[in-house]
Amino acid sequence: MILSNTLLERVLNAAMDGGADFAEVFCEETRHSVITGGTSGIQNSSLGLESGVGIRLFSGLRCRYAYTNDCREDTLLRLTRELASSCRGGGVRTPLTALTSYAGDGSSVASLKDKLELIRRAAAAGMDYDSEIAQMSVRYLDMDQQVLIANSEGLLASDRRQKTRMQITAYARWGENLQRGFIGPGAMAGLEFYDSFDLEAAARQAAQEAKTAAHAQKCPSGMMTVVVDNGFGGLMFHEACGHSLEASSVSKGHSEFSGRLGQQVASPLVTLIDDGTLEGQWGSLHVDDEGNPTQRNVLIENGILKGYMIDKLESRRMGVPATGSGRRQSYRFPPEARMTNTFIAAGTSRREDIISSTERGLFVGGINGGSVNPVTGEFNFSATGCRLIENGRLTEPVQDPTLIGTGGQVLEQVDMVGDNLSLGQGYCYNNSGALFICAGQPTIRVKNILVGGTE
Amino acid sequence: MMLKTYIEAFTLAAKAHGIGHLNFYTDISRSRAVSVYQGELDKLELSEACRLFIEGEVDGFSGEIYVENFASEQIEEQIQILRESALAYQRPFVSRPLTDMPGQETQQDFLPLDKVLEGMLAAERAANADSRTQLQGCFFQEKYSDVTLTNGEGCTMTDRMGGAHSYLSLTARQEELVQLAGKSVPLPWGQFPDMEAMADRVAADALARLHAGSYPTGACPVVLAANVVCELLDAFAPAFFAKNVYSHMSVLEGKLDQQVAGENITLLEDPLLPGGLRPRRFDDEGTPTSAKTIVERGTLRTYLHNCKSAADAGCAPGGNGFRPSVSEEASAGYTNLLLQSGEKSQDGLLADMGDGLLITGVSGVFAGAHPSSGEFSLISHGYKIRQGVRQGAVSQITIAGSFFEMLRQVQGIGGDNEWMRASHGCVRAPSLYVSSLAVSGGADDEKK
């Protein structure tokens, strides 16, 4: 629901006249397709148009937010005045500037049949992999999101974000044991992304992972040296320290990294970057959801804490500029500083050397997901594609364990960083909704992590 | 354009395109959320939304479209999407008759804001009363949704879902030690919790956990607190969904009428339970809901069916066709999922266990619990138990095992039910005493 400039200005005026000292209107129209299917047809579908407006007001360090998809003027003004009635003060509004458009080029026009064909191909390739594959579940999704952001400081910006992703899950049964394998490639692109992507190979990889898991032994428990492979294994650092570097944790002193800028917080081998500008990446944006261009934020450099991810409200509290990190799932959420594409920079070790120099430990192929308590830094993540490392060699596959630790502890215990950086795609869930993110790293070794196995 | 006018216009336009048998699923909701910080209203969030999911028949196939924009100029594009989906998916259209079930039409009022703030600010004072503790978050949300199904034949079914949710968290600090504790309480519409008492309990928990130690790695008897059982039950409920069973994605495939849990385990669904947090008279496909016994004294009696899985299985729809979100087709879910409680208090279960662990919290369930395999491995915290008595807090451990194997090893069931608003419905469960789970912790910490 893209509002006219006249209506935008009326809403902003109502906010400022009512007592806000900052006001913002976020308009969104998103066309989306989410289709889940397999070899036996479509299991679930959502095709549609999301459309609505979010109105955000500040009163000092206090935030007021309303959203609706009823975009009649009287509804928007009523909600704005209700929010403003609890604000104190007010401010002067700067007239809107000329529109700055950050929209990407072109539009992706693809038929539903083209999308179904992708699902069919992935499902068929996975089923053909092995007779133990009991089922393939393939979820295709795309979105074409158009946003318009106006605020009382005169900002008027628009962006268009096209995304696509396939979430391919294979289920393998061996006797009573039913296990899954997963791969989820995605990009900031239209359907053309799949022209240069080997979908069948990805599906077979998921199937292979499921079959291996079905035959895997129980995973041992206890403190171990852990080697996490490159790619979405970077979610370990997303959880271990990424969330703790978001302003919503840092600004009120609730993060283990609050007030530690310039201090050594990690092994000198660790450089952590959040970069929303990476061309075509699933976690990228041209402009954040507060209207600021995204940027490359170096968070930790050679183990020294260099910066945080900061949104507009918390930039007020912290007295420092925002970092192009204000993100929200949709108009239904007020924005917060969140990660985009977050990764550990490449080091110098070779993957095979990292494994061969590990006498005994756990090799983690990937990560399903995880969470963190930013106050204590306690994190957990569910590992997948795991094998034991014995005498410097990968040996038996073991069932998926959960690995736990604290951010500060893990950052200090990184003792080898590979030269093979790659990114993986996923979602991050927090107060401002489910966001598309990339997490990445080269192969990394951590000296001690607690492995929650079943043996 | 108002919703009623839009539906009339859409119906006319659809008819002109040869689209018939229209079903409209609408969700009209209002919410208000408030939080306090440092003696003031910190955040206020309001919402008013109307969302619509339309299904219709095109050449004998079923098509669909999700709509949030009710402008008349959008209708043509929306009809094209519905039409394209029908022809691409080629799923035969199946008529689902509706039964008239009118609902309330009055708008409900939120609790008076000044009263809500008074209670929340009292909670903040309680949270900050000890110099070692500080409020981190204090949040209260009220929301209601009117779900309405209508079709072209004039039938209308409306259910109102309303409720509140409160959350309080605080940090405890002492020298270098820091701990975070929190409590989430779901409530029926119109109720406000004693947040001051919540703050006292959460503060006591955070302070106790400041000095938490680890626990030796190995198999160990555990009592799972009711809130933990709710989380596990929600995580593994998809194993009961017929659509997963018939797609070979559930560990319960082929287990109907077989023993899947101990004889002391009975699992129920009761959509009209007095005091239930998710009362529904019909599911999102228009099938009347009904009470059912899913697991009876350890024996699996039924899967949870939507219309499609029921048709595949040749049985009647079970009234469990619920949408994961308004924008998605009905899939599977439940209303009030109840693990039948026992009579013992949690302390009684601890006394029966003697030595072991009380697990009072788990995290990362969405990633560390796998409903298809039934396995879980979760970061946890709680208390060491010696001779039935709490001996000190434990954190930074994991518990792991198979959910259904665990249900065979339940030695005692508490009477201390707790509710949770979960991802597929609402769950109520008591504490459980389980004879053994795999625990991973520090190797050197003694069992004190």
Average pLDDT over residues A9-34: 97
Q: Which of A223, A311, A450 to substitute to test the interface with B, most B CBs within 10 Å?
A: A450
B446 C-beta neighbours (distance < 10 Å), count: 10
> By the CB < 8 Å criterion, does B423 face chain A?
no
Contact B375 A112 (CB under 8 A): no
Q: Is B403 exposed, middle or buried (0-12, 13-18, 19+ CB in 10 A)?
A: buried
Distances (CA, A) of A135 to A186, B72, B310: 22, 43, 20
Sign of CA dihedral B361, B363, B368, B371: positive
Look at strands A402-406 and A393-398 and give their pairing: unpaired
Nearest alpha carbon to residue A337 among A377, A374, A379, A382:
A374
Q: Which helix H or strand E contains B29, and what residues bound it?
A: strand B20-37
Cβ of A62 and B438 within 8 Å?
no
Provide φ and ψ at A335, rounded to 5°.
-75, 155
Point out the residue among A68, A332, A382 whose CB comes nearest to the CB of B367.
A382
Q: What is the tens place of the pLDDT at every residue in A421-443?
A: 999 999 999 999 999 999 999 99
Residue pairs between chains A and B whose CB atoms are closer than 8 Å: 231
Contacts of A176 in chain B (CB under 8 A): 251
Q: What is the pLDDT of residues A184-218, one digit of tens each?
A: 999 999 999 999 999 999 999 999 999 999 999 99
pLDDT of A40 reads 77
Instruction: Give residue B447's pLDDT.
Output: 36
**First-to-last C-alpha distance (Å) of chain B:** 68
Contact check, Cβ <8 Å, A134/B248: yes
pLDDT of the residue at A176: 87
Q: Is the pLDDT of residue A131 over 60?
A: yes
All residues of chain A having their beta carbon less than 8 Å from the beta carbon of residue B136 are 252, 254, 375
* Closest chain B C-alpha to A349 CA, distance in angstroms: 30
How far does B343 lie from chain A, in Å, by closest CA? 31
Who's near B118: CB < 8 A, 6+ residues apart?
none
Segments making up each domain of chain B, as ranges:
3-204, 212-233+341-440
CB atoms within 10 A of CB A104: 17
The answer to whether residue A113 neighbours chain B at the CB level (below 8 Å) is yes
Q: Which residues contact B229 (CB under 8 A, 6 or more apart)?
A: B339, B429, B430, B431, B432
Beta bridge partners of B300: B295
Query: Which of the four pLDDT bands, split at 50, 70 and 90, describes residue A105?
Result: low
Give the SS3 label for residue B136. strand
Question: Which two tokens mark B431?
Answer: 């504490």
User: Which residue of A69, A180, A401 is in closest CB contact with B372?
Assistant: A180
For every residue of A197-260, DSSP letters joined together read: S-HHHHHHHHHHHHHHHHTPBPPP-EEEEEEE-SSGGGHHHIIIIIGGGBHHHHTTT-STTTT-
For residue B444, the model assigns a pLDDT of: 44
Domains and CATH numbers, chain A: 5-214 (3.30.2290.10), 222-452 (no CATH)
Q: What is the DSSP letter of A264?
A: B
Find all residues with CB under 8 Å of A399, minimum gap 6, and list them.
A179, A213, A216, A217, A218, A219, A386, A453, A454, B375
Q: What is the DSSP letter of B80?
A: H
Determine the pLDDT at residue A91.
84
User: A6, exposed or middle or buried, with CB in 10 Å at 0-12, 13-18, 19+?
Assistant: exposed
Radius of gyration, alpha carbons of chain B: 24
Residue A220: predicted pLDDT: 92
Would an 8 Å CB–CB cutoff place A68 in contact with chain B?
yes
Structure tokens at B23: 């079903």
Is A263 part of the contact surface with chain B (CB cutoff 8 Å)?
Answer: no
Could A64 and B43 be called an inter-chain contact, meaning their C-beta atoms sit closer than 8 Å? yes
A7/A21 Cα distance (integer angstroms): 19
Classify the C-alpha dihedral B73-B77-B83-B89 as positive or negative.
Answer: negative
Contact across the interface for A453 and B327, Cβ inside 8 Å: no
Contact A371 B363 (CB under 8 A): yes
Encode chain B (448 residues) as per-residue pLDDT tens digits: 588 899 999 999 999 999 999 999 999 999 999 999 999 999 999 999 999 999 999 999 999 999 999 999 999 999 999 999 999 999 999 888 888 888 876 668 999 999 999 999 999 999 999 999 999 999 999 999 999 999 877 789 999 999 999 999 999 999 989 999 999 999 999 999 999 999 999 999 999 999 999 999 999 999 999 999 999 999 999 999 999 999 999 999 999 999 999 999 999 999 999 999 999 999 999 999 999 999 999 999 999 999 999 998 999 988 999 999 999 999 999 999 999 999 999 999 999 999 999 999 999 998 899 999 999 999 999 999 999 999 999 999 999 999 999 999 999 999 999 999 998 999 999 999 999 999 999 754 443 3
pLDDT band at A41 (very low <50, low <70, confident <90, very high): confident
Please list the alpha-helical segments (H only) found in B225-286.
226-236, 242-246
Determine the distance in angstroms separating the CA of A112 from the nearest CA of chain B, rounded to an integer: 6
pLDDT of B369: 94
B380 contacts B362 by C-beta, under 8 angstroms: yes
Q: Does B117 touch chain A (CB under 8 A)?
A: no
Contact A112 B85 (CB under 8 A): yes
Question: How does residue A455 score in pLDDT terms, banded at 50, 70 and 90?
Answer: confident
* B88 vs A32, A86, A113: nearest CB: A113
Check if A426 contacts B (Cβ < 8 Å): no
Say how far apart CA B138 and CA A157 lie, in whole Å: 34
Mean pLDDT of chain A: 94
Homologous superfamily (CATH) for B3-204? PmbA/TldD superfamily (3.30.2290.10)
